[in-house]
Structure 1
Amino acid sequence: MAKLITKNEQSISWKELAEGVKAGEIALQQGDTVELKLTTGEIVFMQAVKVSEDGKRVTFVSKDCLATEMPMNEERTNYGGWAESDLRKRLNTEVFNTLPEDLKEVIAITKRRQYVDGKIVECEDKLWIPSEYEIHGREIFAEHVEGEEQFELYKDRRNRMKKVGNNGEDTDWYWCGSPVASNTTSFCSVDGDGDAVGYNASTALAVPLCFEI
């Protein structure tokens, strides 16, 4: 069972949550939190960061990152961007398989778009990580794709700071899905203070979990 944490905590399955949202019976707000328990036993707290205008589609990003750090690519390259990355493949196979069955049934397919070598590349994912623009709301190291918006929650720098797992007090560096435009080896990331940085793609950093229902 998932645990919806708003003003009143209640137990609810992901299927019930998704059906309630689509029926207009559950109105999630930005910042509302749902407790997700992976089949590995790991607990991840998912925050609603975007609600569609009709209220029937909700984007979630984990408050903190997964407990296991991962490289964006095994090789030190950003070739192909997010669409061709090893991390994308790992999230949508290995990590996806650790989700509870009721969540697997209701996760929506999300279309991701970004500039790679001056061209827009698209892919469709169930699990993904946010772009630099969705985190920071401006172009810093990556080129902005028209239509991207900063998640309202991340206008507060404190909400951009994430830990590895949900234990401990120290925040750490984590990946964004955007390749750095000025070189061929790095992806965008966020440091422990919530600021934008770039990092070598082959380095293991923390990984936020994102999906839509």
Structure 2
Amino acid sequence: MKIERLAEIETTDIQIGDRIHVDHYTATCQEITPKGALFLMDQYLDKPMVMNKENTNKGGYAKSDLREALQSEEVLNIFADIRDHMVPFDNGDLLRIPFAGELFDNLLKWCEPDGHEQWPLMRDRRNRLASRCGEYEWGWLQSKDKSSPTNFYHVNGSGGISAWGASAVTGVRLAFLIATYRKNKEEAEKCHS
């Protein structure tokens, strides 16, 4: 008989599927990277947001109003309790939204390729679903629609992928990195060998 047991423990050894509390949200570890454990919030932020105030995908997520808003103190304050453990992404941001490739295995042909592989937990459609204030919501992805000057992709309310205009107001599900100590432990063990 296989039994799955959830227990709260104090550890620095994070694994895929581990869950933490962030303010009144939860977040689940999706991947262990060389920079740290990558977590994705299980819910959308309480406040939906636009990707861009003007209905354009010019400049992609990197130049979007949403990216700028996610680096504001208003949003970062949600992470006050864990901020000392957070590690910036390569671009210096502490928070981002997922790429389409991280949630979906087969991307639509007009979805801009992002070079990411689907996270193991996202193979289950239920893990792609998220709610905002208790109601299932659609949520932004970083990937833009190559066939449109306005659309970005998002996860729809059934866990599928769809495109929508950048000025639409929809859910924001944040990804962030938490420092892991495994690398430091391995380096220390090498020194003592």
Q: 2:85 aligns to what SS in structure 1? A: coil
Report what 2:191 is aligned to.
none
Q: 1:7 aligns to what SS in structure 2? A: coil
Alignment of 1:23-172 (within 5 A): 26=13, 28-37=14-23, 43-52=24-33, 57-93=36-72, 94-100=74-80, 102-111=81-90, 123-140=91-108, 141-146=110-115, 148-165=116-133, 168=134, 170-172=135-137
Report what 2:150 is aligned to.
185
Could you tell which deviates more after superposition, 132-141 or 176-185? 132-141
* In structure 2, distance between residues paired with 1:78 and 1:182: 11
Cα shift at 1:139: 2.4
Cα shift at 1:61: 0.2
TM-score (norm 1): 0.75
Matched residue count: 172
* In structure 2, distance between residues paired with 1:162 and 1:57: 24
Code of the aligned partner of 1:143:
E
Code of the aligned partner of 1:98:
I
Post-superposition, which runs of at least 4 consecutive aligned residues in structure 1 deviate over 6 A?
Answer: none
Q: Which runs of 5+ in 1 are unaligned?
A: 1-5, 21-25, 38-42, 112-122
Code of the aligned partner of 1:61:
L
- The structure number with the bigger radius of gyration is 2
Cα shift at 1:51: 1.4
Does structure 2 conserve the Cα–Cα contact (< 8 Å) formed by 1:138 and 1:144?
no
* In structure 1, distance between residues paired with 2:159 and 2:78: 28
* In structure 2, distance between residues paired with 1:91 and 1:52: 22
Q: 2:121 aligns to what SS in structure 1? A: helix
Code of the aligned partner of 1:139:
L
What RMSD in Å do the two structures reach over aligned CA positions?
1.8
Larger strand share, 1 or 2: 1
Report % sequence identity.
Answer: 32
Q: Which runs of 5+ in 2 are unaligned?
A: 179-193
Cα shift at 1:72: 0.5
Code of the aligned partner of 1:174:
G
* In structure 2, distance between residues paired with 1:57 and 1:63: 19
Code of the aligned partner of 1:57:
G
Does structure 1 conserve the Cα–Cα contact (< 8 Å) formed by 2:51 and 2:167?
yes
After superposition, give the CA deviation of every residue in 1:2-22 in whole Å (9 maximum; x if it has no partner). xxxx72224x6xxxx6xx2xx
* In structure 2, distance between residues paired with 1:110 and 1:149: 17
